[in-house]
Amino acid sequence: MDATVITDIFGSYSPIAPMIVLIIGALLMPALYFGFKKKAPVSAIALIVMVISIAINLIMLTGANYPAEYASFEGLFEYNAFSGLMILLFQTVALITLFVSISSTETTTLHFGAYNALLLIATVGMMFIGEANDLVGIFVGVEAVSISSYVLVTMKRCDSRAAEAGVKYVVIGGLSTALTIYGISMLFGSLETLTLSELGPALAANGYSWPLVIGLICMIAGYGFKIAAVPFHMWAPDVYEGSSTPVSLFLATGSKKMGLVVFFKVFLVMFVVAKSMAGFDIELIQYIFAIMAAFSMTVGNIVAISQNNIKRMLAYSSIAQAGYILIVMAVMSEYALVGGLFHMFTHVFMKGGAFLIVGALICVGIGEKITDYNGLAKRAPLLAFAMMLFLFSLAGVPPLAGFTSKFILFSGAIFDADGSGVMTQWVWLAFVAILNSAISLYYYVRVIKAMYIEKPSKDASGKIKIPNTFAIAIAVCAVLVIVLGVYPGPILDLCADAAAALI
Amino acid sequence: MIPIEYFLTFGTILFVIGVYGVMTKSSTIVVLMCIELMLNAANINFIAFSAYGNFIDAALGQVFVIMTISVAAAEVAVGIAIVLNAYKMRKTVSTDDLDTMRW
């Protein structure tokens, strides 16, 4: 479709058109719930707003003739292939979350309007990070997401674990904000700029200095909390366990990707540009990220083995997944970035699908323990099969989506991007990652064993009927996990364009 | 004129006091106050740098400070509400007692 449809309506505001729609929707939500006093119409309107926003973004991303003079909004926000793709990712996550929130028994009824509004605002914050052109935009976007997700975590019906998770999340989140802002202030003082594209040249010109190193450490730590990379991961399992499952889904697939986008937009671009400018030495930083990645995968996977609560297990597994994607930060090549972006996409569907199944089963009264899943294959064969697909995909079993994206991601760490077949120095990292995939298969198979081999307990028998919205969302995720695995072409092209636009 | 190091040292001391408080205090309210200290340390840095540096856009640091102040206000408002909610549920705001979920 022709992109001038959008620019005719929004004019110079078209780069932020998808956000404008969502902000209007978010402001309407509480009033609508106050008027209707019913969940269904409010949820329907939220979904319509989100679909409009996705349509606008898709037209801008894939449509022809998007005018170049509208690419940037006042120099603050810039729409390009990268930001478009990331916006699409965040919108997908938000769409799934909004869709299942209505029938989940865990989400709040009393404040359903506010819940939807906060979900939309958090999505807007993520989308602004995708487009932000300077550190001010990134900082404010991250805070918009964080502050709304503190409330989302606490908004759970009748569960004191949510209150505890909320307190932990606020304290850790506040600490990470303070670290980040202190780091940014040091970076600002030593490089004298906040524009992302100017950070690299300024770094190459000034070289390392003490304030700059302190600033970088603080920023990496602060944003490391957001992606829950080891050693900044302690909050993630508690928060994912305590919050309602749709919110856990939103945090694990959306909020984590937001942190990774910040890493790509700030650090990756900064160091790649600095290296290309003056042969600037970035090997030390690459090793820092490589060690973070290796520890995230290993700790995440090993601690996940001993978990009995499935939400905690999935939380640790998503710490490990963040470790896999951090390989991009260590390798710092365009090819690895393509793999990383693709893995971010497939992770939405496989981790999202697993959380959806957990949420659906909680709705019908099945607990969060892995032993509660005993004999699930007899009671709900399709659901058990879908769960098996998602878990195998997370472990990286071909031909599912997780295998394809991991293959591209890890091969970026093994071979140089220029196609000469020369191995990079990061082969050991790929080796650690593959070893970790094997470890992860152990605890995923434990769930599958419980579902297919163990006998169900006496009082738990009979067929399970999950809510329709969950069934539809799970089916879509399952189909996408298979389709992206065997036919990754279209989305991979978008990822390649995005990576080329970023670096 | 006062050298910039004075301001930066002041900011660092505030930041370290904040970190110390977050690490050691068990009352969640005090921890939130210490986080405010850390944010203010960053604000002092921004103002000092933008006053002493030679920037093309001199207001940049000050704009960031205004953003930080508003973000900090929002964060504390939400934080206090969440702590109150925890108190209502559990009758405690001590981080030592909020430990039902571990490992």
Is B67's pLDDT higher than 80? yes
Q: What is d(CA A89, CA A61) in angstroms, rounded to the nearest whole number? A: 12
Give residue A418's pLDDT. 67
Q: Is B103 near chain A, with CB under 8 Å? A: yes
Residues of B in contact with A182 (CB under 8 A): 15, 38, 41-42, 45
What is the rounded average pLDDT of the residues B53-70? 84
* Nearest-CB residue to B46 (from A167, A185, A306): A185
The string of DSSP letters for A172-236 reads HHHHHHHHHHHHHHHHHHHH---BHHHHHHHHHHH---HHHHHHHHHHHHHHHHHHT-TTS-THH
Task: Inspect the interface and report whether the beta carbons of A182 and B22 lie closer than 8 Å.
Answer: no
**Mean pLDDT to the nearest integer, A67-96:** 88
> B65 at the A interface (CB within 8 A)?
no
- In 3D space, the residue among A223, A255, A261, A314 whose CA is nearest the CA of residue A97 turns out to be A255
* Per-residue confidence (pLDDT) for residue A149, from 0 to 100: 93
- Give the pLDDT of residue A489: 87
How does residue A90 score in pLDDT terms, banded at 50, 70 and 90?
Answer: very high
CB contact under 8 A, A163 and B93: no
Q: What confidence tens digit (pLDDT) does each residue in A336-384 have?
A: 999 999 999 999 999 999 999 999 999 988 888 888 888 888 888 899 9
Tokens of A7: 């620019």
Mean pLDDT across chain A: 90
Report the residue of chain B nearest A312, measured CA to CA: B103
Q: Per the CB < 8 Å rule, is A237 touching B101?
A: yes
User: Rounded mean pLDDT of A170-186?
Assistant: 93
- Calculate mean pLDDT across residues A397-412: 90
Q: pLDDT-derived band of residue A419, with 50, 70 and 90 as boundaries?
A: low
> What is the C-alpha to C-alpha distance for residues A413 and A424, in angstroms, rounded to an integer?
7
pLDDT of residue B54 exceeding 90: no
CB A177 within 8 A of CB B76: no
Measured CA to CA in angstroms, residue A259 lies from A108, A219, A223, A228, A318 at distances of 27, 11, 6, 9, 13
Burial tier of A493 (Cβ tally within 10 Å: 0-12, 13-18, 19+):
exposed
| Mean pLDDT of all residues in A46-69 | 87
Please write the tens of the pLDDT for every residue from B79-103.
Answer: 999 999 999 888 888 888 777 777 5
Q: What is the residue type of A12?
A: S
Task: Name the pLDDT band for B41 (thresholds 50, 70, 90).
Answer: very high
Quote the domain boundaries for residue A482: 4-502
Contacts of A136 in chain B (CB under 8 A): 63-64, 67
Q: Are A159 and A132 in contact (CB under 8 A)?
A: no
Query: Which residues of chain B does A248 touch, with a Cβ-Cβ cutoff of 8 Å?
Result: none
CA distances to A349, A361, A461, A475 from A353, rounded to whole Å, are 6, 12, 24, 9
More confident residue, A121 or A12: A121
**CA atoms lying within 13 Å on the CB side of residue A175:** 22
Beta partners for residue A132, in sequence order? A77
Distance CA A312, CA A443 (A): 12
* Chain A residues near residue B89 by CB distance under 8 angstroms: 160, 163-164
Q: Does B84 touch chain A (CB under 8 A)?
A: no
At A282, the pLDDT band (50, 70, 90 cuts) reads confident
Is there a contact between A290 and A426 (Cβ–Cβ < 8 Å)? yes
Whether the predicted pLDDT of A63 surpasses 90 = no
Q: Is the pLDDT of residue A97 over 80?
A: yes
Do the Cβ atoms of B28 and A154 come within 8 Å?
no
Whether A163 and B85 lie within 8 Å, measured CB to CB: yes
Task: Express as a percent the part of chain A with pLDDT over 90.
Answer: 62
Whether residue A106 has pLDDT greater than 90: no
Give the number of other Cβ atoms within 10 Å of residue A68's Cβ.
6
A135-154 and A112-131 helices, crossing angle to 10°: 160
Of B18, B22, B101, the CB nearest to A242: B101
The tally of domains found in chain A comes to 1
User: How far does B35 lie from chain A, in Å, by closest CA?
Assistant: 6
Q: Residue A392 has which token pair? A: 């195998």
Does A306 contact B at CB distance below 8 Å?
yes
| The pair of three-digit structure tokens given for residue A454, joined into one six-digit string | 């163990």
**Quick check: B58 contacting A, CB < 8 Å?**
no
pLDDT of A417 higher than 70:
no
Q: What pLDDT score was predicted for residue B103?
A: 59
> Nearest residue of A to residue B39 by CA position?
A178
Amino acid (one-letter) located at A414: I
